[in-house]
Chains A and B, each alone.
Chain A
């Protein structure tokens, strides 16, 4: 058990290190390093100046040397400055990580609460009308691009009806008298993003829990339980659902990654200040330091969540042994 956990942690760390290097070298291939921006801002710049500036910023060195310099700076706790916002990267990461966490966790919980009961209901009444309709909706949910759904939701609820804000994080310039009002105000801004982010995972959860439940209810022990005269509730929840739960945990754990990834688009669409949007805007705006840090932190977050899910998996199913 301990060796398994240690091996997984080392493996996760290795993936993070390799990715950070790959990402670093990719960034050198993006248009617009600091010196290129200076050249475009100042047409009178001479070739000697360019060489001097490149040496000054260390841009004349090979990628791996620059990578190790950068890692050294980070080890000292210096994450660098944002070129766009002129504030240290450390100050930017906290709030946006928190915002993304709220959004993706909210979406995940919402999809679990909607998707899994739907799936179980359909599994207990297979081939009924409800089952048929839910199946169509599941396919729709899986196939609809989240940004398109977001646009449609904005058109309906913000433009036409005017019920909900089209984007943002909280009402600008609002003074909160107490915590309750603050939460209420922020929740209003979360409704549309959470819906547009969740539709895909609702479809996936519902489809998956239906098949897992159908499979679980086919087992011989279900027939035995019924034959013993147990109530249908006990048969479904204690015998059927417990066994359907195991594949469900896997799919929920895998979904964290895709919800987090989808958050990038949702955040950009709704102007929600999370990490996904930070990655996108910093890459578009050549904000190198911010892009690197936010990318690596979000990848690390997803990988750690996967690790935790793997460990929980063993707790849910005693038949799984860690080798």
Chain B
């Protein structure tokens, strides 16, 4: 007998053949085939980590993301900025003036341990502040004072290394980019998820009930889809949030009396207190104009699901509309919805960047990639690097989300032609 005789598969092989793969196992193995999508997924994970760990990165590098320094504007990449003597002495003078007792204590400690050798004893702190960074830090560690953190921060600010240089206010570009990741990806993900929820609800209502509801909802969807989105966004983004919310307060005062008015006023104050009102506004505006594609998609899916036997079965069993839509239909549209959300994140990041670039999105001092580009274009001839960096990051993240969406689409629905 030759060797080509079929040997029965071993027990483990048999097991792997006979166990059926779950839907997500199939999707996963399909997804792995799409190299670009896998790279995209890794990049997204990396940027998400950067966004989440932004404060940790700030702490680890010892660079303050907000500290401004007008003397160090537009420094090229790989610069180490060392503060001149007068800046150092001014800073320590301010420190002595604001904390006289603590300053005397540190001064005596410095002299007692003979860490500095000033000409006059009252110059001890001035001498210390002019020491080299590592030596000054070493010195201050040995001294027991309640203001240690403040002094360490001061010394750190005097000598800082800027991997990507500094921007128009002398801030560290790397740290601004790191915090910009937070804002840009945060807005993108939030808008994509929120508009998916809106689209899901509207699409399900239109598809399931049909008739007049369908006609009205789809007319609105189509009208919004046909608009040139950017001019519309510009007009809406330019409105004054204070006027809108002032109107809201007045309305709730009329409807619910003083209690309602106060509650609304408190809500408004909350929004403005964090300095984050431009983010709320932007997310709201973008949600308003990005649910339409999801709604169309879900409506189509629900229309075909409506005719299926299992829906008929649950209807005959007396299930309510809510149960049918949420329990039986939604699980069947999760996959296309996921693709749509992934692609939506990329679009939302692009729109956020576009609006911020026009000066109508995220407002400074909060950094976003779009408004960093907006600030950088003023000095595009002198510091082109500043304009290029945020743009590259936007491009990388958006392309990653698009590839990820494409990979998911191929994996979930292998029948579709690659588009």
Contacts and interface: CB of A to CB of B under 8 A. Distances in A.
B358 A265 contact: yes
B234 A264 contact: yes
Given A147-B373, A210-B419, A262 B395 contact: no
B403 A148 contact: no
B354 A147 contact: yes
B16 interface: no
Contact of B402 (A142, A261, A295): A142
Interface string A258-272: 101110110011000
B377 interface: yes
A151 B391 contact: yes
Interface of A: 11, 15, 19, 23, 26-27, 29-31, 135-136, 139-140, 142-145, 147-148, 151-152, 154-155, 159, 207-208, 210-211, 214-215, 257-258, 260-262, 264-265, 268-269, 276, 279-280, 283-284, 291, 295, 298-299, 302-303, 306
A291 B234 CA distance: 11
Interface stretch (B54-62, B237-245, B272-280, B318-326): B237-245
A295 B377 CA distance: 26
A279 B231 contact: yes
Contacts of B381: 159
A279 to B, nearest CB: 5
B388 A152 contact: yes
A31 B391 contact: no
B234 A279 contact: yes
B230 A30 contact: no
Interface string B277-294: 000000000000000000
Contacts of B239: 26, 29-30
A11 B226 CA distance: 12
A11 B218 CA distance: 13
Interface residues of B, number: 45
B36 A159 contact: no
Contacts of B357: 145, 147, 265
B398 A143 contact: yes
Interface of B: 36, 219, 223, 226-232, 234-236, 238-240, 243-244, 247, 346, 350, 353-354, 357-359, 373, 377, 380-381, 384, 387-388, 390-391, 394-395, 398-399, 402-403, 406, 417-419
B356 to A, nearest CB: 10
B402 A151 contact: no
B228 A257 contact: yes
A147 B398 CA distance: 14
A136 B398 CA distance: 13
A30 B231 contact: no
Contact of B227 (A11, A284, A302): A302
B125 to A, nearest CB: 46
A306 B394 CA distance: 31
Contact of A257 (B227, B243, B419): B227
A146 to B, nearest CB: 8
A139 B399 contact: yes
